[in-house]
Amino acid sequence: MDFLRRSLLSFGLLAAVSGLSSAPGVAEPAETITVASTTSTEQSGLFKELLPAFTQASGIGVKVVALGTGQALDAARRGDADVALVHDTAAEEKFVGEGWSTKRYPVMYNDFVIVGPKDDPAGAAGASVVEALRKIAAAKAPFVSRGDRSGTHSAELRYWKEAGLDLGAVRGDWYKDVGQGMGPALNTASAANAYVLSDRGTWLSFKNRGDLKILVEGDKRLFNQYGVMVVNPEKHPHVKAKAAQAFVDWLVSAPGQAAIAAYLINGEQLFFPNAEAR
């Protein structure tokens, strides 16, 4: 059992480890890096588009460990990854500030949405995110939380706080904490006909929608930025820093940014490149 599998099992994590190392017709890469990233980038299908293009351009393979942002950063801190690609700016800046990386690069963004039952028992449709949460809590309407220290979970907790609600005080049987990734959370919400905060990319790629639809979107608070960082080899000398930096450089380059922009599902763009924001 390799070190990644041991460490993931020891923390009881539900991770998707993908050996996306080479494009069709490309020789097996001589070197492979490990990227700790979010379930949203994995489950949306983005990596299936990006990684073969990067390998073809560089000859470097990539394996992805898909976790919530907090768990992905923990994996990077342990030295179980060469790169972290996540979506919680405050946590990323803390990661750099603690010396686990020397630089954070903005890569792309999309947005969060609140998905819920088409009949909308809480009357959340069209409201701001904070007003929607107030209505959901007042109605005690079923709500599914990822509860997994992901970027999405961190955003949800921030929105409850901005809504002026003490989640510890108001939560009850109506609030279900699943402790899993975005896909399982959406499946739970679909089965329970419940509200849930989702990143738009995973929602667009999600098939098991049941009676759910987007009810809340467009609020500027729902902006969802992604950043990428090479793990500092001074913390973990085994980190493949040169190959990892090549991956980061490609993501923020014109070809990498174009590949992000070109990824569509049913004609809809899932992620919007903004590396120039750095």
Among 25-34, 168-177, 220-229, 244-253, which stretch is predicted with the lowest mean pLDDT?
Answer: 25-34
In a shared domain, residues 90 and 121: no
Give me the CATH number covering residue 103.
3.40.190.10
In a shared domain, residues 133 and 233: no
Q: Which residue has the tokens 């701001």?
A: 128
In a shared domain, residues 133 and 78: no
List, for residues 29-65, the tens digit of each pLDDT value: 889 999 999 988 988 999 999 999 999 999 999 999 9
Name the strand (E) or helix (H) holding 168: helix 167-170
Q: Which residue has the tokens 């609020």?
A: 219
pLDDT higher than 70, residue 19:
no
In a shared domain, residues 244 and 191: no
In a shared domain, residues 180 and 202: yes
In 68-104, at which residue ranges do the beta strands (DSSP E only) sit?
83-86
Cα dihedral 137→141→142→144 (10° resolution): -40
Give the residue-averaged pLDDT of 182-209.
96
Cα Rg of the chain, angstroms: 19
In a shared domain, residues 124 and 195: yes
The SS3 of residue 34 is: strand
Give the residue-averaged pLDDT of 236-243.
98
Question: Residues near 67 by Cβ (< 8 Å), separated by ≥ 6?
Answer: 13, 15, 36, 37, 38, 39, 75, 150, 181
In a shared domain, residues 32 and 116: no
SS3 content of the chain, % helix, strand, coil (to 5): 40, 25, 35
Q: In this predicted structure, what is the pLDDT of residue 22? A: 41
List, for residues 102-124, the tens digit of each pLDDT value: 999 999 999 999 999 999 999 99
In a shared domain, residues 197 and 248: no
Q: In this predicted structure, what is the pLDDT of residue 277? A: 59
Please tell me the distance from the alpha carbon of residue 97 to that of residue 106, in angstroms, as a whole number.
Answer: 16
> End of a domain among 176, 196, 222?
222
In a shared domain, residues 158 and 136: yes
In a shared domain, residues 230 and 135: no
Please tell me the distance from the alpha carbon of residue 99 to that of residue 110, in angstroms, as a whole number.
Answer: 28
Please tell me the distance from the alpha carbon of residue 248 to that of residue 263, in angstroms, as a whole number.
Answer: 18
β-pairing verdict for 223-230 and 83-86:
antiparallel
The SS3 of residue 174 is: coil
Q: Give pTM, 2 decimals.
A: 0.86
Q: In this predicted structure, what is the pLDDT of residue 23? A: 44
In a shared domain, residues 115 and 157: yes
Range of the structural domain that residue 217 is part of: 111-222
In a shared domain, residues 155 and 249: no
Of 19, 24, 7, the closest CA to residue 64 belongs to 19
Mean residue pLDDT across the chain: 91
In total, how many domains does the chain have? 2
